[in-house]
């Protein structure tokens, strides 16, 4: 794509033309000769916005780090309680919990807080996903189960590094928000060794029950089987351990 074509696209984006409309106009402008510009996708326009410093309407700044920082400050200035904990990369943590290079953000709305207060005495779940973006941040979601067993997202934790100390700070921010410890009867997680240990130390588990859903257990077993078992034996080994998981004594 030539600089002139990029500048033309940037001009439309800066005027507020939506990404979908710009892409549609590009693809319908194909004449006799197909040019690289006609193969533009969403990521192409995103890169163009970044190159020409064009912020989206919902963005405060085209730089992601600055954008988040400005958004958090705006939330606080407006008296919003959505942000329960925030530590920007490069900033000094007055509590000394997070290092200078660490990023941490905990989000929970007031309606989510009310649901946690109401259903937090039953089952709480923690699910974590990481490496889905170029920043390699880890997203951890806290859920509670309603009366029919459906998961309701309660809070979101975003960190570039997750360890016991940082998890403790995130859980403490929830404890502070509801002015008490979450007294759950059952804990579900995809990572028993870390999440369960820290949750138990910060909150209250009456029966100290731990349950890891079969899907997560199966994933971890499958990974271990691939590491330790010969290829031709893997299907039978996995089948047998799944039978053990589902066996009720």
Q: What is the pLDDT of residue 213?
A: 57
Residue 172 pLDDT exceeds 90: yes
98-115 pLDDT tens trace: 998 999 999 999 999 999
Q: What is the pLDDT of residue 57?
A: 53
CA distance 84 to 109: 9
* Strand pairing class (138-145; 151-159): antiparallel
Average pLDDT, the chain: 79
- The better pLDDT of the pair 63, 89 is held by 89
Q: What is the pLDDT of residue 4?
A: 77
Tell me if the pTM is above 0.75.
no
16-62 pLDDT tens trace: 777 678 777 776 765 545 555 545 566 676 677 666 666 555 555 55
User: Per DSSP, what are the bridge partners of residue 127?
Assistant: 141
CA distance 171 to 151: 19
Residue 94 pLDDT exceeds 70: yes
């Amino acid at each position: 794509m030539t600089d002139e074509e990029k500048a033309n696209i940037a001009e439309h984006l800066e005027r507020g033309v939506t990404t979908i409309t710009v892409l549609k106009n590009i693809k319908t402008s194909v004449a006799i000769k197909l040019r690289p510009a006609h193969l533009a996708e969403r990521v192409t326009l995103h890169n163009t916005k970044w190159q020409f410093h064009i912020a989206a309407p919902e963005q405060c700044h085209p730089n992601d780090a600055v954008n988040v920082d400005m958004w958090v400050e705006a939330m606080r200035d407006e008296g919003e309680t959505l942000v329960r904990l925030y530590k920007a990369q490069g900033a000094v943590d007055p509590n000394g919990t997070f290092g200078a290079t660490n990023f941490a953000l905990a989000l929970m709305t007031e309606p989510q807080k009310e649901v946690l207060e109401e259903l937090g005495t039953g089952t709480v779940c923690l699910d974590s996903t990481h490496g889905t973006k170029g920043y390699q941040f880890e997203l951890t979601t806290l859920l509670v189960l309603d009366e029919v067993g459906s998961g309701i997202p309660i809070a979101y934790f975003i960190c570039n590094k997750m360890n016991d100390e940082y998890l403790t700070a995130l859980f403490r921010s929830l404890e502070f928000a509801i002015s008490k410890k979450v007294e759950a009867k059952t804990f579900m997680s995809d990572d028993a060794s870390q999440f369960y240990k820290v949750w138990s130390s910060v909150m209250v588990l009456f029966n100290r029950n731990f349950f890891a859903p079969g899907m997560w257990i199966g994933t971890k077993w499958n990974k271990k089987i691939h590491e330790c078992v010969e290829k031709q034996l893997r299907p039978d080994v996995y089948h047998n351990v799944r039978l053990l998981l589902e066996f009720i004594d």
